[in-house]
Structure 1
Amino acid sequence: MGEGNDAVPASWSDERFEINDLVARYVEAVALFDVALYRAVWAADAVWVVDGRGSFHGPSDITALFVRLRERQEFAVQRIVSGRVEFGAERSRATGRWVIHSLTRTAGSGAELVGVYDDEYVRESDGWRFRERAFTPLYRGPVALEGAVFAPPRAG
């Protein structure tokens, strides 16, 4: 183990894996426009801080905004560039930071976005959820996405 990780109990590697899975489910929900999966990643008292749009509270309002933003896109995919998770004294809470690269196409126009998610996680009875997710853009601009867009596969 690397320096600094020696103080973390081995069982926290399982917790870290579960949080990585939470982030992966978020990315999958965006790419496949899976509203049920998207709603399921948020804690009951969650806050989503969206660049230029303010803060949205609770899974219902957060999911409603997601639907409004995502339904106009023909294509949307996020790629995780890097990420890390840190645990404090409370085993039921953690924080994380993820750099993402996103490609979207809306009304035939492609867009590229690079940014940072700063997260707070909470462990609920059935697993980890986002307590807060705040996005900060680092780059936003046009990109050529002239290829065909296909329907996503059904959830299996």
Structure 2
Amino acid sequence: MNRTAASDVEQIRRLVADLAWYIDTGDTEAGLALFTSDALLDASTAGGGLISGPQGLRAFMEGTYTRAPSRLHVVSNHVVDVEEEGDRAAGRLVGLAYTKNPDGVSALVGIAYEDHYERDTDGWKIARRVVTPMVVPER
């Protein structure tokens, strides 16, 4: 891996870590800034459907804050492949999401993420994310 690709990988890993932080702290504006303007979030296997664009992402994030006012994401095992041209990349990672709903019921869910990233004038952004639950708590 050349020096540029290594730097790109680190920037993308930071992007993903920042997104988890902004979701957990309820910073919608900072979280939205990490997505391309035409981003697609596919949370259909997690019950969230297909979410696209800034308005859809905003509604999804704010709905998350209502459904789970207490939350913590931990992301790991992030593998990133930068395309040769250097402005697109793909990644996969896993995460754990601990949530507590307004009634005090908590859950720990294992999640897999498949991402596509694009670089624009502001740096790397998430263009597409597929969210798949891996380990779901019993109800």
Question: TM-score with structure 1 length normalisation?
Answer: 0.82
Instruction: Give the counterpart of 2:15 among 18, 22, 44.
Output: 22
Structure 1 counterpart of 2:112: 116
Instruction: Give the counterpart of 2:57 among 59, 62, 71.
Output: 62
Q: Give the CA deviation at 1:140.
A: 1.3
* Structure in which a larger fraction of residues adopt helix: 2
Distance 2:29 2:12 in 1: 18
Q: Give the CA deviation at 1:95.
A: 0.3
Q: Contact conserved, 2:111 with 2:134, CA < 8 A, in 1?
A: yes
Structure 1 counterpart of 2:24: 31
Identity %: 25
Q: Give the CA deviation at 1:142.
A: 5.9
Find out whether 1:135 has 2:131 as its counterpart: yes
Q: Where does the alignment leave 5 or more consecutive residues of structure 2 unmatched?
A: none
Find out whether 1:125 has 2:121 as its counterpart: yes
Alignment partner of 2:3: what SS? coil
Alignment partner of 1:71: what SS? helix
Spell out the pairing of 1:78-97 with structure 2 (5 A cutoff): 78-97=73-92
Structure 2 counterpart of 1:44: 37
Aligned positions, number: 136
Q: Where does the alignment leave 5 or more consecutive residues of structure 1 unmatched?
A: 1-7, 144-156
Distance 2:49 2:55 in 1: 16
Q: Give the CA deviation at 1:72.
A: 2.8
* Bigger CA radius of gyration: 1
1:86 maps to a residue whose letter is D
Residue-by-residue CA offset, 1:81-123 (whole Å, 9 max, x unaligned): 3111001222100000010011000020010100100000000
1:113 maps to a residue whose letter is V
Distance 2:68 2:111 in 1: 19
Q: Give the CA deviation at 1:38.
A: 1.1
1:61 maps to a residue whose letter is G
1:126 maps to a residue whose letter is D
1:129 maps to a residue whose letter is K
51-60 vs 114-123, greater mean Cα deviation: 51-60
Q: Contact conserved, 1:111 with 1:142, CA < 8 A, in 2?
A: no
Distance 1:105 1:53 in 2: 18
Question: TM-score with structure 2 length normalisation?
Answer: 0.92
Q: 1:12 to 1:124 in 2, by over 3 A?
A: same
Residue-by-residue CA offset, 1:29-76 (whole Å, 9 max, x unaligned): 111011111111110110000122221111221121111122232311
State the structure with bigger RCO (CA 8 A, min sep 6), 1 or 2: 2
